[in-house]
Chain A
């Protein structure tokens, strides 16, 4: 039924109004210097009759007597001239210095910046491609207020986490939607895009702007516009840089044998046998030095762009290679882009966009927390000195054949006769684990991700009549992701029996079609533009995997080389579908009074038969006060716009960990299992989820009042806004009692409110021919509150049965807060069984406070210890230009977030029984609890960093003239050269958060480090 009404509408609009025959008038449009202005708009006022000036500024137009012609061009003051019979109407336009009316890309269209009524931030790619990072999203840190990008994983090629205006969604998927050149793409598209191809980013932060993307707009939308060719001479450009990366180590995790030996000597007057033995082996080095090996990053990008009046093209070849700062991690990405836009005739324009990309990523296949807890006296490889300390007789002669160059294993040095300094079968032990060498765990493994993606889109734009056009786009992308993982015979203490190989492939086809009718009309100062259309999208994914074990050596790492009885395989496939109906009307009167309304209806296949659709309306209004007459000649206020927006957007995506449940949650699904019946295999089917037929869209309602201001001819510009976003019917995989037979069930539950303030101010401090200085300050403060959570209010849960630290979700506090006991004081070393062994170890337990004074420590003494959400995020940037030199730098900081640093448990060897307190002598044992359940590991994740600094020099034209080069710039750039974390934070990356559910957020297990990069680069155009 819906289709019929839309069709009717379209046919109605097909009624084209033809004008009557009139006088043909010609002329030329020039600027104040007499230079022609191509592309200026000449409109007969009050009609649909218009044209544009050609390459030489000439135009012809039909006009009647006494009609007015309006001649305008971006950046110039429009001219209005009456036709009274002239045979030539040439005009000279003067530049409009107070108002450079930028065009901003919005959902499914563009709008003048002055007409915007929503919260949209734009960043153009001026120097973003000089930030030496392998991913586009990593370069956006600190560039936009309200957009928080954290480097949750420091491995080469891994994706950061992007949150716009806080964590509104309680599901795993709080990621914003990504739109590239008008089409919605999957979030991992950011991994295949190269910054050199990006012209600008527009971030839609409020619901009113995002509502047009209804289904995906609830967490904000990032619109990316790629570079296109320009009319004129073909431009070749080449950009390259070479950078050096180094990881930032944690001082708290750097232990020293020499220091501990000195402490022990001071406390006890002599060294224990254990410590002496460790000193004898002669190695004293932190494992951070081994696994944080630094790396290089290099990028090459070659592009050809150009065009003529009818056709514009842009082609590019990009390559980036990031060696990563961790041992063995590596990332290479190859990218080709082809974009052609052509005007076939006055009515028709067509465009094609094709971008294949391939990325090859070698992962760091170890866990930092497991490696760093290994001891500092253990060598990496046995050398001349350490080989003498290997015990060849213990454990049945297990290490009898150890040679120089072998991996050193802790147990090799046990069972030593300290008196005679020889190996024996039973003697002094110094090991604290039977594990293999920590670096062997990484070096003997090979884990790779290969991603091939080809994205193509084609659009046709048809001008039905003046001001009405139809744009139809078809796009598709095919993605093939292959992962393989080999764990070699030396990578595990169990040797060859633990060697295994696994591989999986996922193919995904994605199609989207957008069909929109655009309508633009201007009558007597009333500008109306509208869009109406629909979009359909589908994804088909298939997945296969194979795994094998039982390898005797590392020689052949394939499935068939393993033991056939151990081969396991799996396959599945699933599909998703989305259909949407979109409409929007924008209204502006004399550029002063602005209004915008939109409505979108989306249907998604993963919801039950009665809840597939969601409706997302939005409305916003604005008033350009500066254009009013009473502010017309004002010298101070050059721009003042008040705006208010209201919008409803939604989110259909969630992540239960099982893709079949994610896509068919309204069905009770059964998966296959087997049991052994009297020696033979028998087939079974097992329920894998609790069905929810009422599962429906999450929805977010947001109000956003804001003020945009500009003073002193826009020397100072900025905006202040306040937003309040209430997300409800949150999609959450909520934990349930085990008595149901399951651990969790997918429900719509709860209401979360994110409210905050964003403040932006940009100043042009000095602008002169030889020196300029601009500054930008961005501030955002977000407050997250759980407004309701149904019967689960106050629920306490943990992530891991083995490390059962708790989170609480209680109304009136943020979605998730850390929960546990409060530390009172440490257990004195005299009560610890063996305080100097292993090196760097700490007691697992601590004295906690008896908060209710009842003399016992129980659940009533637990309290909220903090939350993982930042209170304030700000960035301050400065750009200087002195002659040919330019310098820009950005300082960025986040304050108020806390993190539960589980890494401490491992790296400080909390599990080691030598560090247990002596039950016979320790006083007040009823007040002792394990540190994991207290705020000892809940640490301050605030930081302040010099995020980017870039110094460049523009080579002079005379120097370049002979080489036929149009422009060249050399630069040096640095990222994270200065990075300071809070005093009580012991880890090396406060931004690294494990991807657990949002109700147990803020968990960190060492992770990968923050790194600093210094690079040198060159941009050449010819």
Chain B
């Protein structure tokens, strides 16, 4: 029975209001269903509609140089790229070693590198990441507008640089020319013959040479591409082609040798640098190799320490470069450290707030290197040369070093020694020995003199065990590992 007094009416209304409120609450919440399950992305960029303007493509170009820098961290899983290059090059040559033979780094100096070595994997992974960044640029050139040619040149330069380093260190490597899916095991685990890798490198650099200008030192430039291509051609034995390129760099590049050798390393705006990888102190763009080369300043107790062998080479051929290249370790006077990359920027000043976050740029190609390559290209595989053009280039480098004696003949050994003292600790030595065909002899002599374990298969590094494991057996390993 329904009574119509106020109390009952109120009660009925209350009843219904409460139900309605609850129901409406639910309806409200789920009526937003359409985009309820699609919250906004605010802290990263959605890549599916990115790379649509020239500025955006340029950010991908800059990203390649960030990849070359590597991450300054202590985590074994980060890509350290150039910051760990010295382990694989200088420390495997007769130039440097660890201070106290500890840890994984000792494997390099004693020629006992294992496939499980973390630094070997780090470098491999880092440079394939650089190649990926370059391929990303190349895949998006259509939206680069007027800068497309330049960006293509830059990306191909970086890709060629990465492939050149990888093929010299690891031998036949997988060749990646576009971003690949993780399911593409064919490209990921097929080791392409060395000749084919070089074919891509040459073709990439030729594009770079024709499309780049000379606006930058820490981004790819025409002269940098010419110099790198010349080096590649010398490695392949194409001496005339190399000579033309090198002469173009010298005459049209606008570079000149710095009169003070230390300015090359401590004045970042110097006139000699052709291509460098830029760093800045203190933050995310810093590098830590400068600290690692000192005594217990970085995470190691000291690596890339100078061997007695290279010191005696400096005594004979160094000139005024000796003082800038290495110095005695004040804490352990019988040891010697590299002096070209002190973190503070000066030879003797006290360290930065945090020397493990140094800002020294890493020089990849400079004019002195080009001049000596010029000599090499004229020598054209012979044992000596008296060609005046070669002698002039050689003399220029010598003069700067304070060794003014007139040069009348350059032999292969003399050239090697000059390269050694001019470019010491700049990650050239191992590649120079390989390119001039003397790696086996020089390194086995060095190894037997110092009680190390060099064998003929030790010039190439192993393919990282991680890749071999993931390939489920399809990827083959280098001999001797």
Which residues from chain A sit less than 8 Å from chain B, CB to CB?
Answer: 2-3, 7, 10, 14, 347-348, 395-396, 398, 434, 460, 462, 464, 470, 472, 493-494, 497-498, 513, 515, 534, 536, 538, 549-550, 563, 565-566, 568, 571-577, 579, 603-605, 609, 612, 660, 664, 667-671, 673-679, 681-688, 690-691, 734-743, 745, 747, 791, 794-798, 800-802, 804, 806, 911-913, 919, 933
A434→B77 CA distance, assembly (Å): 25
Q: Which residues of A contact B26 (CB under 8 A)?
A: 3, 472, 513, 515, 534
Residue of B37, B38, B45, B188 contacting most chain A CB atoms (<10 Å): B37
Q: Sample 14 A-B pairs with CB under 8 A, ordered by A number.
A: A494-B297, A566-B353, A573-B42, A668-B47, A675-B66, A675-B218, A683-B59, A691-B48, A737-B189, A738-B464, A747-B182, A794-B472, A802-B76, A806-B469
A-side contacts of B61, CB under 8 Å: 684
Chain A residues near B442: list those with CB within 8 A: none
- CB-CB contacts below 8 Å: B2-25 with A: 15, 18-19, 22-23, 25
Do B62 and A14 have beta carbons less than 8 Å apart? no
Highest count of chain B CB atoms <10 Å: which of A10, A668, A794: A668
Question: Closest CB-CB distance, B35 to chain A, in whole Å?
Answer: 9
List, in ascending order, chain B residues with CB within 8 A of A609's CB.
Answer: 38
Min CB–CB distance B110 → chain A (angstroms): 10
Tell me if B467 and A737 are in contact (CB < 8 A): yes
Residues of A within 8 A of B471 (CB): 737
* Cα of A621 to Cα of B42 in the assembled complex, Å: 48
Chain A residues with Cβ below 8 Å from B279 are 676
Q: Are B39 and A575 in contact (CB under 8 A)?
A: yes
Given contacts A605-B38, A736-B470, A739-B187, contact A691 B125 (CB under 8 A): no
Residue B272, interface by CB 8 Å: no
Task: Given A565-B353, A736-B470, A796-B470, check contact A534 B283 (CB 8 Å).
Answer: no
Complex contacts, B100 vs chain A, CB 8 Å: 913
Task: Report B-chain residues with C-beta under 8 Å of the C-beta of A682.
Answer: 62, 65
Q: How far is the CA of A92 from the CA of B353 in the complex (A)?
A: 87
> Does B217 touch A at the CB level, under 8 Å?
yes
Q: Enumerate chain A residues within 8 angstroms of B464, measured Cβ to Cβ.
A: 738
Which residues on B sit within 8 Å (CB–CB) of A671? 44-45
Task: Indicate if the CB atoms of B466 and A801 lie closer than 8 Å.
Answer: yes
Q: Is B88 an interface residue (CB 8 A)?
A: no
B124: chain A residues at CB < 8 Å are 738
How far apart are A1000's CB and chain B's nearest CB, in angstroms? 12
A734 to chain B, nearest CB (A): 8
* B30 surroundings in chain A (CB, below 8 A): 2-3, 534, 536, 579
One of A10, A14, A667, A743 near B125 (C-beta < 8 A) = A743
CB pair B467 A604 closer than 8 Å = no
Partner of A685, one of B63, B101, B129: B63
Alpha-carbon gap, A491 to B176, bound state (A): 45
Shortest CB–CB separation between residue A809 and chain B, in angstroms? 11
B46 at the binding interface (Cβ < 8 Å): yes
- Nearest-Cβ distance from residue A738 to partner chain B, whole angstroms: 4
Identify which of residues 50-78 in chain B touch chain A, using a CB-to-CB cut-off of 8 Å: 50, 56, 59-63, 65-67, 69, 76-77
B414 contacts across to A, CB distance below 8 A? none
Other than the given A684-B62, A739-B174, A742-B132, 7 more pairs (CB < 8 A) read: A472-B25, A563-B353, A664-B41, A667-B41, A675-B62, A740-B188, A804-B118
Q: Is the CB of B465 within 8 A of A804?
A: yes
- Nearest CB on A from B217, distance (A): 6
Q: Specify which of B176, B189, B470 lies most central, judged by the most chain A CB atoms within 10 Å of its CB.
A: B470
Least Cβ–Cβ distance between A11 and chain B, in angstroms:
8
B181-197 contact mask (Cβ, 8 Å, vs A): 1 or 0: 11111011100000000
User: B122 to chain A: which residues have CB within 8 Å?
Assistant: 801
State whether A536 touches B182 (Cβ < 8 A): no
**Which B residues between 352 and 407 are near A, CB-CB below 8 angstroms?**
353-357, 361
In angstroms, Cα B122 to Cα A802, docked, is 10
Bound-state CA distance A791–B268 (Å) is 50
In the complex, which residue of chain A has the Cβ closest to the Cβ of B187?
Answer: A739
Closest to B40 in A: A575
Instruction: Report how far A668 CA is from B60 CA in the complex, Å.
Output: 14
- Which B-chain residue is minimally distant from A514 (CB atoms)? B26
Whether A741 contacts B36 by the Cβ 8 Å rule is no
Are the C-beta atoms of B357 and A14 separated by less than 8 Å? no
B269 at the interface (CB under 8 A from A): yes
User: Could you tell me if A670 and B330 are in contact, using CB atoms closer than 8 angstroms?
Assistant: no
**A865 to B189 Cα, complex, angstroms:** 28
- B432 near A: Cβ within 8 Å? no
Complex CA distance for A347 and B184, rounded to whole angstroms: 64
Q: Which residue of B lies closest to A745 (CB)?
A: B182
**In whole angstroms, what is the CA distance A684 to B269 when docked?**
23
Residues of B within 8 A of A571 (CB): 43
In the complex the two chains form, what is the Cα distance from A795 to B468 in whole Å? 10
Q: How far is the CA of A177 from the CA of B119 in the complex (A)?
A: 41
Q: In the complex, which of the residues A470, A549, A741, A804 contacts B353, with contact meaning CB atoms closer than 8 Å?
A: A549
Known: A549-B353, A739-B187, A740-B182. A800 touches B118 (CB 8 A): yes
Contact B216 A678 (CB under 8 A): yes
Check: B179 CB closer than 8 A to any chain A CB.
Answer: yes
How far is B42's CA from A493's CA once the two chains are assembled, in angstroms?
41
Instruction: Judge whether B240 is part of the interface by a CB distance below 8 angstroms.
Output: no
CB distance from A437 to the nearest CB of B (A): 15
Most chain B beta-carbon neighbours within 10 Å: one of A348, A667, A673, A919: A673
Nearest CB on B from A7, distance (A): 7
- For residue B131, CB closer than 8 A to chain A, the reply is yes
With a CB–CB cut-off of 8 A, which chain B residues contact A933?
A: 116
Question: Which residues does chain A contribute within 8 Å of B131, judged by CB atoms?
Answer: 739, 741
Please indicate the chain A residues that have their CB under 8 angstroms from the CB of B331 in the complex. Answer: 395-396, 398
A534 to B60, CA, bound (A): 45
**A572-B43 CB under 8 A given contacts A737-B182, A739-B176:** yes
A829 vs chain B, min Cβ distance (A)? 21
A348/B43 in contact, CB under 8 A:
no
Query: In angstroms, how far is the closest chain A Cβ from the Cβ of B42?
Result: 6
Known A462-B22, A605-B39, A801-B118; judge A791-B183 contact (CB<8 A): yes
Q: Say whether B150 faces chain A, with CB atoms less than 8 Å apart.
A: no
- Kindly state whether residue B278 has any CB partner on chain A within 8 Å: yes
Q: Which chain A positions have C-beta within 8 A of B47? A: 667-670, 687, 691
Residues of B within 8 A of A739 (CB): 128, 131, 174, 176, 180, 187-188
Smallest CB–CB gap between B34 and chain A, Å? 11
Specify which of B76, B102, B182, B354 is in contact with A549 (CB 8 Å cutoff).
Answer: B354
**In the complex the two chains form, is B469's CB within 8 Å of A796's CB?**
yes
Given contacts A669-B45, A671-B44, A739-B176, contact A678 B187 (CB under 8 A): no
A-B residue pairs, 7 tightest by C-beta? A741-B132, A676-B278, A550-B353, A801-B118, A572-B43, A668-B47, A575-B39
**Is the C-beta of B233 less than 8 angstroms from some C-beta in chain A?**
no
Provide the residues of chain A in CB contact with B356, threshold 8 Å: 494, 497-498
A800 to B281, CA, bound (A): 28
In the complex, the answer to whether A738 meets B48 with C-beta atoms within 8 Å is no
Alpha-carbon gap, A498 to B356, bound state (A): 9
Q: CA separation between A741 and B128, bound complex, in Å?
A: 6
- Which listed residue (B19, B39, B281, B301) contacts A565, Cβ 8 A? B281
User: Chain A residue with minimal CB distance to B334?
Assistant: A426
Q: Which residues of B contact A3 (CB under 8 A)?
A: 26-27, 30-31, 33
The verdict on A566 contacting B27 (CB below 8 Å), with A398-B331, A801-B77 known, is no
A23 → chain B, closest Cβ, in Å? 18
CB distance from A776 to the nearest CB of B (A): 44
Find chain A residues with CB under 8 A from B103 CB. Answer: 911
A491 CB to closest chain B CB, in angstroms?
A: 15
| A737 in contact with B470 given A674-B66, A675-B66 (CB within 8 Å) | yes
Q: CB distance A791 to B185 under 8 Å?
A: yes
CA A806 – CA B465 in complex, angstroms? 10
Q: Which residues of A contact B18 (CB under 8 A)?
A: 348, 460, 462
CB distance from A351 to the nearest CB of B (A): 15
Residues of the B chain whose Cβ atoms lie less than 8 Å from the Cβ of A515: 22, 25-26
Nearest B residue (CB) for A345: B11
